[in-house]
Amino acid sequence: MLVDLRDSDRRQVNTMKQVEGIWLPDEDTHFQTMFPQFPKVGGRATYQYDKLQSCLDLCQSRRVAVDVGAHVGLWSMILCDHFATVVAFEPVFAKHFRRNLEEKPNVVWCKNEDKPHQLHELGD
């Protein structure tokens, strides 16, 4: 039996809360318990910041970063400060992602819920 999880996922992540400057799904409990373990950047919580920093250290060219499975944009927010363009893919938590990155002009958000071949900029 095939089950389309997209509709149920949309219902589950329809509402949000703000925790340490980050918009998360209301039902999230993981990130709010993890945020205190990592430094804040720009007054906002980060997640696995040490891993992200290790990746940044390896990047010689800072033209384009790709964030696949961007979730709510925790890494994309930081990548925007280090790369000319960030291309992010996130179908389920798109509402939260857009809210967290609404002030970052160099993000291209790839919405692939219904039309995976189309790119939509953050403002779409």
With DSSP H G I counted as helix, E B as strand and the rest as coil, what are the percentages for the chain, rounded to 5?
A: 30, 20, 50
- Going by pLDDT thresholds of 50, 70 and 90, the confidence category of residue 23 is very high
DSSP state of 17: E
- Give pLDDT, residue 98: 87
- Residue 5 burial (CB count, 10 A): 9
CA distance 72 to 96: 5
- Give pLDDT, residue 6: 43
For residue 63, the cross-strand partners are none
Q: In the chain, what are the domains?
A: 15-121 (3.40.50.150)
CA distance 124 to 122: 6
Nearest to 74 by CA among 110, 38, 115: 38
- Give pLDDT, residue 111: 61
Residue 7 predicted with pLDDT over 50: no
- Averaged confidence pLDDT in the chain: 81
Which residues are CB-neighbours of 80 under 8 A, at least 6 positions away? 86, 101, 104, 106, 107
Residue 100 predicted with pLDDT over 90: yes
Residue 78 predicted with pLDDT over 60: yes
Q: Express as a percent the part of the chain with pLDDT over 90.
A: 55
- Give pLDDT, residue 45: 95
The whole-model pTM stands at 0.76
